[in-house]
Amino acid sequence: MTAESQAIAKVAVITPYHREGLELLEQCHRSVKAQTMACRHVLVADGHPQAELQGWGIDHVLLPTSHDDIGSTPRLIGSYHAIGLGVDAVAFLDADNWYEPHHIEQMMVCREQSGAAFVSSSRLLCRLDGSPIGPCPITDPDCFIDTSCMLFGREAFHLLHHWALMPPYAHLIGDRVMLHHVRESGLNRKHLNDPSVCYRCGKEGLYRQMGEVIPPGVQPMPNYEAAFRQWQQDGYPPL
């Protein structure tokens, strides 16, 4: 994408990164650059900037230290940077994931036709090597939407502060927390069943659920249940 097309882009894609390898970041960025609708790609270095990114034609936001919140604070900072530049919508893409070329255009067409303030998509589960496993069986627009499958329109920008203001334990389940706030807002939302986000499975839980052999390098499943319990103990509804 040229600097001119990025400057007039209506959508910003926010990608926080920490210590991901350059190869993963390149695949992530290529998928944004290849979108059929021009996007401003904002990569936010969470305390560990990579100088190689400076020549990519991106907005490279450098944070001086890591926030240790699984990308939540960098997502908010990247979003506010883009909003200040006048974008109409903000989407997210984690550094180890990538989009199908039509993803953003499809989401924005849905938004424009339906008037939805929040649009979500399904995701395609992929192995560590990038090969596809299949559509995600746990995606549910009323319960679970992965962060990389979310798009917030201007009417929903006021909800973005929850990335940083959620309780510290909740960052582990941050996508569910954000969906909770979207539901609670009463804003119009729409979901697309097309799995146009490619999600690299880095934790063992999804491999087990899909009946897959767990490859080397996959992380153990985090203690999501403890976070869910604490959320309810703090007086919030079940996620």
User: Residue 194: its pLDDT value, please?
Assistant: 97
Q: What angle is formed at CA 75 by the lines to CA 77 and CA 183, rounded to 5 degrees?
A: 115
Structure tokens of 127? Answer: 């192995």
User: Residue 29: its pLDDT value, please?
Assistant: 98
Rounded distance between C-alpha atoms, residue 24 and residue 28, angstroms: 6
Into which CATH architecture does domain 3-233 fall? Alpha-Beta Complex (3.90)
User: Residue 9: its pLDDT value, please?
Assistant: 81
User: Residue 6: its pLDDT value, please?
Assistant: 56
Instruction: With beta carbons less than 8 A apart as the criterion, state whether 212 and 185 touch.
Output: no
Domain ranges of the chain: 3-233
SS (H, E, C) the chain: CCHHHHHCCCEEEEEEECCCCHHHHHHHHHHHHCCCCCEEEEEEEECCCCHHHHHCCCEEEEECCCCCCCCHHHHHHHHHHHHHCCCCEEEECCCCCEECCCHHHHHHHHHHHHCCCEEEEEEEEECCCCCEEEECCCCECCCECCHHHEEEEHHHHHHCCHHHHCCHHHHHHHHHHHHHHHHHHCCCEEEEEEEEEEEECCEHHHHHHCCCCCCCCCECCCCHHHHHHHHHHCCCCCC
Rounded distance between C-alpha atoms, residue 127 and residue 102, angstroms: 22
Instruction: With beta carbons less than 8 A apart as the criterion, state whether 199 and 124 touch.
Output: yes
pLDDT per residue of the chain (239 residues) written in tens, 0 to 9: 455 555 568 999 999 999 999 999 999 999 999 999 999 999 999 999 999 999 999 999 999 999 999 999 999 999 999 999 999 999 999 999 999 999 999 999 999 999 999 999 999 999 999 999 999 999 999 999 999 999 999 999 999 999 999 999 999 999 999 999 999 999 999 999 999 999 999 999 999 999 999 999 999 999 999 999 999 999 999 99
pTM: 0.95
Q: Which residues are bridge partners to 133 per DSSP?
A: none
